[in-house]
Amino acid sequence: MATIDRFFENPATALVGTIILAAVGLIALNGRFMTAGYVLLLVAWVVAALGLRSSPPTILAGVLLIFGALLLAVGYYLTPESFPENSGKIKAETVLSPNSLPTRTLEIGDSGARISVGMIDFGASRLVLEIIDGKLEVSTTIRDKNGNLIAELSKNEWKTSPDKAWDRNYTANALEVRNAAGKIVLQVVLLSDRIQIQGEWLSPNGHGIRIVKNPKNNHGLMIGFQGEVPKDTPEIEPIFNYPSSSHFGELKKKR
């Protein structure tokens, strides 16, 4: 305790501690740990108060007031207006009247390749398209090669794993999930008359299927593989910018 008291009594060491705590707090505010960031800013202010407690009252009050106002202002500036969640719901661009959709239409990305389909079975997972009250709804699950659930869609309501190695980005009518290697494994855009989807469905036995647009000719592909994905298989091109923590809801500009 005596060592701690001496630390706080020395304005220089207290100032260093304050700067470190404030810096860590501000970094946390601009990332995932919002509550921890606010707590660290408060602790930084307290450390500054303890380090300056032997100063004249007027100087102490003035410095703490200015320092506190500065921390509040910078904290407010760095706090994100919004931050991506791990669950939500995608919606069609327009609300359709009942019976306005004669088919359940899936498009492979924006390739123009459309399929009228109700369900595609991928073994461990499946993709289901339904028309409910005149609106297209999609359900599916995305798992990693070990069978762990990464992302799930149930009638347009989605949730993703909070694993920090994975990322996701979304808008009101689009969802995208990126794996630990930076590859897109699920991309869904819900339009008024169709669902644009690309994805990769894996099973624990090593079997996988990738639905993807071929950027060379805009054809839609459905590729099955065992073990590793063939090297000449097209990757799913992202429609969002990453990381989502600093590019939340930010779509890539089309060339």
Task: Write out pLDDT tens, residues 52-89.
Answer: 667 778 877 887 787 777 767 766 665 655 567 788 88
Residue 45 lies in a domain: yes
Last-in-domain residue among 53, 78, 103: 78
Angle at 252 (CA atoms; ends 249, 255), nearest 5 degrees:
160
Q: What global pTM score does this model have? A: 0.66
Residue 98 lies in a domain: yes
Structure tokens at 114: 């459309």
Asked if the model's pLDDT at residue 45 lies above 50, the reply is yes
Regarding whether 118 and 91 lie in a shared domain, the answer is: yes
Q: How many CA atoms lie within 13 A of 186 on its CB side?
A: 30
- Number of domains, the chain: 2
Q: Are 169 and 247 in contact (CB under 8 A)?
A: yes
Pairing of strands 87-89, 207-213: unpaired
Regarding whether 19 and 135 lie in a shared domain, the answer is: no
Residue 254 lies in a domain: no
pLDDT: which is higher, 205 or 251: 251
Regarding whether 93 and 70 lie in a shared domain, the answer is: no
Q: Which of 57-61, 77-81, 113-117, 212-216 has the lowest mean pLDDT?
A: 77-81
Residue 136 lies in a domain: yes
Regarding whether 147 and 91 lie in a shared domain, the answer is: yes
**CB atoms closer than 10 angstroms to residue 144:** 17
The boundaries of the domain holding residue 35 are 2-78
Regarding whether 124 and 224 lie in a shared domain, the answer is: yes
Residue 212 lies in a domain: yes
Angle at 142 (CA atoms; ends 106, 92), nearest 5 degrees:
40
Residue 55 lies in a domain: yes
SS3 28: helix
Asked if the model's pLDDT at residue 29 lies above 50, the reply is no
Regarding whether 236 and 127 lie in a shared domain, the answer is: yes
